[in-house]
């Protein structure tokens, strides 16, 4: 009788175990999206208000299947070096000190510098996070080399436009993605700022350039597929400032508002970010996506709302 009870107890215990193993996982155990690469594409002078009219099928598909805003706001003044610095450094002009369109060094003393002598950049944060992982930067305008932490980036390449075209930068960037499969890499195009200054923001030449840039974005997305990393890659499309007539630098919405698009694993689909998005939110958001810690000095906010 005693042993029969024991058997009964064992059987009921195993039934209980099967039952509990079949329970769905509680909400808190939902897995984080598996993102191992961030590929960022920057377009100098891409104005938020001109995107709707643009023939940019790849970018618009990323918006339809990702999270986006056309009103991410410039630091002041709304010029290039100031805003690329803000994007990379997670702080505004008053802290990083780059004040002119083409500043190569801070125009006044930065509020705080890191171990490499400049305000910590996204590359500083990623180097601190995992020094073994590759990061890289590709750009057509040489000033970018002065705005990133060249000691913390694995490799950077200044590849200027040739005869008004960007095929060289695109080809080098594609080779990097295919060969190196970097943790974080970025390609920053000089256009459509070039066409904006020469022909005007929204001119036929400016709009035609947007379509060419879109074809480069499509080639880059294809490259991640060939490299076998597409499913684990988050794409970011970003600009520094917009423009109006043949210039920018002031405080109109046309000059200050630029697009910011996120597309990849775990990102909400067709989600327009309604809350305020500042240029200096970019670095903290990239750090958050890759699990790196934001340097103490950063003032931007990670846009965590882009994820499901
Ligand atoms: Zn410009």
The per-residue pLDDT for range 114-146, each reduced to its tens digit, is 999 999 999 999 999 999 999 999 999 999 999
- SS3 of 292, please? coil
Q: What is the CA radius of gyration of the chain?
A: 23
CA of 43 to the centre of ligand 1 (A): 11
Whether the Cβ atoms of residue 223 and residue 77 lie closer than 8 Å to each other: no
Say what the pLDDT of residue 268 is.
98
**pTM for this prediction:** 0.90
Note down the domain range covering 204: 33-306
Q: Is residue 80 part of a domain?
A: yes
CA of 19 to the centre of ligand 1 (A): 64
CA of 246 to the centre of ligand 1 (A): 9
Q: Where are the strands (E) in the chain, listed by range?
A: 37-44, 67-73, 135-139, 155-158, 184-192, 233-238, 257-263, 271-272
- Residue 44's closest CA among 101, 89, 112, 108? 101
- SS3 of 99, please? coil
Q: Is residue 253 part of a domain?
A: yes
CA of 225 to the centre of ligand 1 (A): 33
Q: Is residue 186 part of a domain?
A: yes
- Specify the DSSP element, H or E, that contains 49: none
CA of 292 to the centre of ligand 1 (A): 32
> Which one-letter DSSP state was computed for residue 65?
T
pLDDT band of residue 82 (cuts 50, 70, 90) is very high
Whether the Cβ atoms of residue 300 and residue 278 lie closer than 8 Å to each other: yes
pLDDT band of residue 30 (cuts 50, 70, 90) is low
The per-residue pLDDT for range 219-229, each reduced to its tens digit, is 999 999 999 99
> Which one-letter DSSP state was computed for residue 54?
S
CA of 203 to the centre of ligand 1 (A): 15
**How many domains are there within the chain?**
1
Q: Is residue 281 part of a domain?
A: yes
Rounded to an integer, the average pLDDT of 288-297 is: 98
CATH number at residue 231: 3.40.720.10
pLDDT band of residue 27 (cuts 50, 70, 90) is low
């Amino acid at each position: 009788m005693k042993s029969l009870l024991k058997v009964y107890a064992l059987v009921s215990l195993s039934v209980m175990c099967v039952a509990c193993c079949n329970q769905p996982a509680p909400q808190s155990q939902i897995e984080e999206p598996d993102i191992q690469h961030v590929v960022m594409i920057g377009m100098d002078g891409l104005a938020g208000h001109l995107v709707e009219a643009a023939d940019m099928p790849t970018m618009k598909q990323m918006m339809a299947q990702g999270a986006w805003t056309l009103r991410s706001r410039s630091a002041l003044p709304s010029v290039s070096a100031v805003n690329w610095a803000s994007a990379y450094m997670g702080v505004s002009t008053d802290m990083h000190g780059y004040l002119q369109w083409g500043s190569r060094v801070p125009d006044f003393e930065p509020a705080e510098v890191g171990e490499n002598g400049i305000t910590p950049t996204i590359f500083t944060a990623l180097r601190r996070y995992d020094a073994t992982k590759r990061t890289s930067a590709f750009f057509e305008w040489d000033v970018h080399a002065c705005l990133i932490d060249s000691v913390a980036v694995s490799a950077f390449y200044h590849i200027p436009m040739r005869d008004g075209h960007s095929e060289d930068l695109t080809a080098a960037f594609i080779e990097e993605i295919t060969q190196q499969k970097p943790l974080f890499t970025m390609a920053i195009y000089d256009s459509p700022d070039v066409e904006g200054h020469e022909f005007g923001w929204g001119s036929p030449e400016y709009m035609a350039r947007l379509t060419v840039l879109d074809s480069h974005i499509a080639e880059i997305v294809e490259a991640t597929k060939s490299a076998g990393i597409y499913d684990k890659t988050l794409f970011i499309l970003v600009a520094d400032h917009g423009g109006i007539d043949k210039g920018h630098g002031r405080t109109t919405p046309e000059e200050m508002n630029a697009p910011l698009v996120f597309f990849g694993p775990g990102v909400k689909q067709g989600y327009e970010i309604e809350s305020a998005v500042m240029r200096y939110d970019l670095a903290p958001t990239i750090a958050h996506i890759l699990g790196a810690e934001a340097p103490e000095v950063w003032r931007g906010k990670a846009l965590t709302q882009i994820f499901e």
